[in-house]
Structures are given as structure tokens and as C-alpha cells.
């Protein structure tokens, strides 16, 4: 498998991992776990595992001050800001509309990458974004009647912040391995959650066995696996393609919800899912007429 299709496969695997996050979170929330507690455990356990693995493999983890600053920006600043905006928007608009607003981020990624990294903004990529976003409208079933300006602006803010996360993350993995990058990002994200949880007095580790199993699933699949494959995918295919392909994530979440919780797709949602897949296919197939990534 060449580098391009390896990158595509890794981003698909990342989307699969991240799509499991809300599924595991539902089980954890049902057992009384709080948001900040869940996020703190997610990143702390992932960071401990990754640094332990790096130590066993005797891989170097030293980074320069500039790289450390970038890693802190990714984990300690951008992630916490994106999470705050995303969960804050849920106070004003339904989760479906919040998710829809968040998944406008591929457009912001394409624009940022064009300005910052001089990545070519192709018509096919813009059409793929439009097609996938249209599909998400049908899949998520967002209603115009549920629009609240504050909630929409916060959700769009989360999309902008996440786009910056992806663009900066692409730069970081050009210098550091995805494993080292993920370890540091998880560590700084954990520090951010610890600070917020301590200040609010909301950390509670008296969890049930079921909640701990859910936490384990989040750490293994929705954090370590998902973040490692995302950073490696960013390195191989760039932030614009990766962000468009990642729009499969909510579609996969809906699929898992149907299997586990008995949720059902309507005909309109199935059509929307087909549109999301078509947008992803456009991104993959558009590579045929472009210069091979190995020559870049």
C-alpha cells in the first residue's frame, strides 16, 4: 500500500475510533461519571500508557522548546477551548445541530491550510466538503427551528478551533513521531482538565465497574488508537483531506447507536449517509490526477 492510501486508511481508522467516544460516554454517564472526570481520566491514562510504552521501547521523548510550545497549544489550549465551546453550545441548541455546526470544520481547515501551508484549494475538495455537509444535515436531522444564535456561534467557534488544531498538528508531526506527539498532547489535555476540574470541584473517581470499563474503551479506542492514527494520517495526506474523510465519524456513531441502542435510520438519513460517503470517495479518487505525495 502506498503512502497516500495508507494515510486514507489511517484516517478512516481514526474516525472509527473517535466515533466510539459518544457510545462509551453514554455508558459512563449512565453510571454517574461526570464530563470533566471522564475527560481527565481519558487523557491521563492515555498519556501514562504512551509514555510507559515509549520508555519500554527506549524511544527518545525529548523535544525542543518550540515543539513543546506547539504541543502545549494543541493539548492544553486548543483542545480545552474546543471542548468548552462544544459542550457550552449544548446549553443552547440540540446535540444534532451542535454536531452539524462542528462538522463545518473541513471548510475552515481547507482555508487555513491554503493560507498557512499554501496547500492548494481545489474545486473537488470544496465540492466534497459541500456534499458531505449536505449529507450530514440529513443524517443528523438538524432543524432550523432549533437555531439559537449563541449556541450556533459557540459551535462554529469549536469548528474553527478544531481546524487550527488539525493544521498545527500537521506541522508538529512533520518533526515528531505520532506516538510522541500523542503522548504530549494527551498530557497537556489532562493537565487542562485537571485544572478545570479542581477549580470547579467536579472530579469524582468513585466510579462503578461499568463506568471504568467505559473509561477503558475510551482510552484504548477513542484516544490512543484514534489520536495515533489521526496524527499519522495528517502526516501522510495533509489536514484538508483528513478533515473531509473524518466527516464519516458521525455516520459511524449513528451506525453503532443503531446496533447497540436500537436507533433506526430514516430513508432521508440513509440518503444523507450515502452523500457523506460520496464526499469521502471524491477526496480519495481526486488523488489520481494529482502529483503523488511521495514527490512532495
In this prediction, residue 147 carries a pLDDT of 66
Q: What is the pLDDT of residues 164-201, one digit of tens each?
A: 999 999 989 989 999 999 999 999 999 999 999 999 89
Whether residue 261 is predicted with pLDDT greater than 80 in this model: the reply is no
Lowest-confidence pick of 57-71, 86-100, 161-175: 86-100
Burial 39-57 (b: 16+ CB within 10 A, else e): bbbbbbbbbebbbeebeee
Whether residue 36 is predicted with pLDDT greater than 60 in this model: the reply is yes
In this prediction, residue 291 carries a pLDDT of 44
Mean pLDDT of 225-246: 91
C-alpha grid cell for residue 36? 470533566
Cβ–Cβ contacts within 10 Å for residue 24, how many? 23
| Separation of alpha carbons 116 and 47, rounded Å | 29
Mean pLDDT of 67-81: 93
More confident residue, 91 or 105: 105
In this prediction, residue 125 carries a pLDDT of 79
Q: Establish how many alpha carbons lie within 13 A of residue 206's alpha carbon, considering only the half-sphere containing its beta carbon.
A: 1
Query: Which range among 1-5, 103-107, 233-237 has the greatest average pLDDT?
Result: 233-237
Q: Scanning the structure block, which residue is given the C-alpha cell 453503532?
A: 256
Q: Where are the domains of the chain?
A: 3-289
Q: Scanning the structure block, which residue is given the C-alpha cell 488544531?
A: 165
Q: What is the pLDDT of residues 98-113, one digit of tens each?
A: 777 787 888 888 888 8
In this prediction, residue 99 carries a pLDDT of 74
What pTM does this model have? Answer: 0.82
| Separation of alpha carbons 24 and 161, rounded Å | 24
Whether residue 146 is predicted with pLDDT greater than 60 in this model: the reply is no
Q: Across all residues in the chain, what is the average pLDDT?
A: 85
| Separation of alpha carbons 230 and 144, rounded Å | 32
Amino acid at each position: 500500500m502506498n503512502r497516500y492510501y495508507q494515510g486514507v486508511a489511517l484516517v478512516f481508522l481514526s474516525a472509527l475510533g473517535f466515533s466510539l467516544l459518544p457510545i462509551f460516554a453514554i455508558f459512563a454517564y449512565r453510571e454517574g461519571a461526570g464530563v470533566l472526570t471522564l475527560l481527565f481520566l481519558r487523557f491521563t491514562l492515555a498519556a501514562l500508557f504512551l509514555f510507559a510504552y515509549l520508555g519500554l521501547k527506549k524511544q527518545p521523548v525529548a523535544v525542543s522548546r518550540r515543539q513543546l510550545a506547539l504541543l502545549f497549544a494543541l493539548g492544553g489550549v486548543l483542545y480545552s477551548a474546543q471542548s468548552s465551546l462544544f459542550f457550552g453550545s449544548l446549553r443552547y441548541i440540540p446535540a444534532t445541530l451542535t454536531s452539524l455546526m462542528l462538522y463545518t470544520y473541513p471548510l475552515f481547515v481547507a482555508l487555513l491550510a491554503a493560507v498557512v501551508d499554501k496547500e492548494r484549494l481545489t474545486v473537488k475538495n470544496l465540492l466534497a466538503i459541500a456534499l458531505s455537509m449536505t449529507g450530514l444535515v440529513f443524517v443528523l436531522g438538524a432543524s432550523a427551528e432549533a437555531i439559537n444564535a449563541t449556541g450556533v456561534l459557540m459551535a462554529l467557534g469549536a469548528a474553527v478551533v478544531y481546524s487550527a488544531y488539525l493544521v498545527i498538528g500537521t506541522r508538529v508531526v512533520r518533526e515528531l513521531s505520532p506516538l510522541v506527539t500523542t503522548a504530549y498532547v494527551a498530557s497537556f489535555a489532562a493537565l487542562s482538565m485537571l485544572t478545570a476540574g479542581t477549580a470547579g470541584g467536579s472530579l469524582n473517581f468513585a466510579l462503578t465497574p461499568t463506568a471504568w470499563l467505559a473509561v477503558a474503551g475510551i482510552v484504548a479506542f477513542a484516544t490512543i488508537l484514534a489520536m495515533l492514527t489521526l496524527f499519522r494520517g495528517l502526516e501522510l495526506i495533509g489536514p484538508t483531506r483528513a478533515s473531509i474523510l473524518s466527516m464519516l465519524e458521525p455516520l459511524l456513531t449513528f451506525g453503532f447507536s443503531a446496533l447497540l441502542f436500537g436507533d433506526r435510520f430514516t430513508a432521508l438519513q440513509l440518503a444523507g449517509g450515502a452523500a457523506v460517503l460520496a464526499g469521502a470517495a471524491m477526496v480519495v479518487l481526486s488523488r489520481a490526477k494529482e502529483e503523488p505525495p511521495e514527490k512532495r
